[in-house]
Structure 1
């Protein structure tokens, strides 16, 4: 399950899953976790192995439904779409439909929101489409964004699409928002391969999806940096992900090695840099994978996804696995370093799994839930003085071949007061943090 730079950094950026797909097991009985599950201050609620594809991506939830993306699988065929799961009874999750994507593409990132525009009213699912790198069909597929009507999640309907040129990899991570002025905006962050292979490739596209049947480009933006330069084990600079904040008047671009860039998009056609938070120092690798805000925007949370022990074995200069960095964002023009959080495994150089953070989501202002690959879901908190502490951990059981689980996505479900986790191989897990009460 270990990823390698020998395939052009493909594992790190979700291009190819190198582990063998292990068929998902049948859902265990409600309230009874399977053998090998780690439940430290968590209670097991439910599990779905989904359709057994065995190479799942990120996840999102909306109302009584969870949406889990998919990647390419070992055969590079892709095309497994976004799994739609009824979680109205969290202890009995039930697969009800799928948002389709073409063969040789992956649909690993998805977001869902309620929108009301003159063109469309209902629940809108936005899916990022990328070519499966290594399939041999990259030049044939059309990557970009697909937009679905999921007002009835059991019967989704394609509304429209926004396309990137054939031969490019596509939208690595996406986000969507409806602003107070009614505009529906979609953010598309491009992949490392696009940056390196296409001179001047755009890092971020802002797309107007107010009419989801006919989305249009509002802005193309990039930092003026050399994508082949950077620091640390993965010396590259590229836009990995984007996330809207401030009601869609800001977007944060996690720009690998170049910082977490806060853009003012109050005028979407003219993005303006507010700040660029570089984590080097204190981090020797400088990887900016993804972000979120906490404390009503007062804290900036940066995830690193640092895989140095696997990708630069034996090189002590790059230290251990990744950690979460927290910045005081009271002055958005100049965030100030506050502290870090890491697990004991992520401070090690062990290589029997992957022990780095991927995403972090927030509950009750100061309770953080991070997807941490082989460390599962980690629950932690931090004081205003930057002192962090782990509160709990959920780790799915090992795969049938003995390899560790790899949790990629995390979602704080405030409707059902549970935490959702997407395991690359074994699908959707649902757990509840003990004694946290209502989120």
Structure 2
């Protein structure tokens, strides 16, 4: 499966969604099916595949689908791909089911409980190892938690929230400690936005043993978060979180940062790699190596000396 976004929604030959391929022969991929997002949207951004009881499901992040389709399609959808030639949408999340979201919800102009106008759209999705809980990154709406034991009828549990002076900008999530700890990264694109703290995005860590009551444990900020650069979006914010055991890896213009979260309430940065003009867009981590994709200078292979700390 591949996420497809549109460069030009007005192009009649452009279509967002995700194609599904048979890779039995990797030299000759065979296209089996294509799940389409409504034409007016930007298309499909991120997706997450999970399997439950021999059925396959894709959790799709379709930023601004609700806005551009005037509510016809939603930003978060669950798609049954058990028959890859005929993928079917079985669930769509309407934020209006939440008590703090008004019936006239507008994803670009959500009137939040703190009386501010905030953006609230789906950027990313993920599922725990057992395929029971889904975590949906809904920008200023927070990380929204669902029980997807029945993927066709998810149950809303709760979501993360922010102080009135914090931009939400929830980009991605990861889980630690057997799914009892949530790591939330935030991609703040305007660090000098009026009425908010002067800061790039930083990482927040939550206790989610009780899915109905996420509790903020700590906030990880590199030394770059408060280094505001005029006219430079994203510069010292964070992108996607990756985990190996109790080591959290963060990346973006601040390079690759390794953070020990053995004690989530008191994390400690234990290493970093910051190349010149760093713009690390993605990383893949195992116990011995880190592959870091630097937009400016290509793929970097880094040694990852991982010790014997507890990996629970």
Matched, 1:302 2:177: no
| C-alpha contact 1:374 1:405 (8 A) present in aligned 2 | yes
| C-alpha contact 2:59 2:79 (8 A) present in aligned 1 | yes
CA distance in 2, matches of 1:428, 1:387: 32
Structure 1 residue 357: deviation in Å?
A: 0.6
The one-character-per-residue Cα deviations of 1:260-296 (angstroms, maximum 9, x if unpaired) are 1111111111111011111x12861122211111011
Matched, 1:356 2:227: no
Q: Secondary structure at the match of 2:78?
A: strand
CA distance in 2, matches of 1:308, 1:234: 15
| C-alpha contact 1:289 1:358 (8 A) present in aligned 2 | yes
Name 1:267's counterpart in structure 2.
150
CA distance in 2, matches of 1:292, 1:230: 28
Please point out which of 201, 204, 225 is paired with 1:322: 201
| C-alpha contact 1:288 1:303 (8 A) present in aligned 2 | yes
Please point out which of 131, 135, 140 is paired with 2:6: 131
Mean Cα displacement is larger for which, 418-427 or 149-158?
149-158
The one-character-per-residue Cα deviations of 1:180-203 (angstroms, maximum 9, x if unpaired) are x011110111113x3333211412
Distance verdict in 2 for CA 1:290–1:383, change over 3 Å: same
The one-character-per-residue Cα deviations of 1:412-434 (angstroms, maximum 9, x if unpaired) are 235xx312222234443221223
Structure 1 residue 368: deviation in Å?
A: 0.3
Mean Cα displacement is larger for which, 196-205 or 225-234?
225-234
Name 1:389's counterpart in structure 2.
268
Please point out which of 51, 76, 100 is paired with 1:178: 51
CA distance in 1, matches of 2:182, 2:275: 29
Q: Secondary structure at the match of 1:211?
A: coil
CA distance in 1, matches of 2:12, 2:273: 41
Distance verdict in 2 for CA 1:251–1:317, change over 3 Å: closer
Structure 1 residue 362: deviation in Å?
A: 0.7
Please report the TM-score for the alignment, with normalisation by the length of structure 1. 0.62
| C-alpha contact 1:274 1:332 (8 A) present in aligned 2 | yes
Structure 1 residue 246: deviation in Å?
A: 4.5
Structure 1 residue 354: deviation in Å?
A: 0.6
Q: Secondary structure at the match of 2:290?
A: strand
Please point out which of 291, 298, 304 is paired with 1:420: 291
Please report the TM-score for the alignment, with normalisation by the length of structure 2. 0.85
Distance verdict in 2 for CA 1:362–1:152, change over 3 Å: farther
Structure 1 residue 316: deviation in Å?
A: 7.5
Name 1:409's counterpart in structure 2.
282
The one-character-per-residue Cα deviations of 1:378-406 (angstroms, maximum 9, x if unpaired) are 11123536112211112344xxxxxx232
Q: Secondary structure at the match of 1:333?
A: coil
Give the structure, 1 or 2, with the largest relative contact order (CA under 8 Å, sep 6 or more): 1
Structure 1 residue 234: deviation in Å?
A: 8.4
How many residue pairs match? The answer is 296
CA distance in 1, matches of 2:117, 2:164: 16
Name 1:213's counterpart in structure 2.
85
Name 2:247's counterpart in structure 1.
367
Q: Secondary structure at the match of 2:130?
A: helix
Name 2:217's counterpart in structure 1.
338
CA distance in 1, matches of 2:178, 2:306: 23
Matched, 1:433 2:308: no
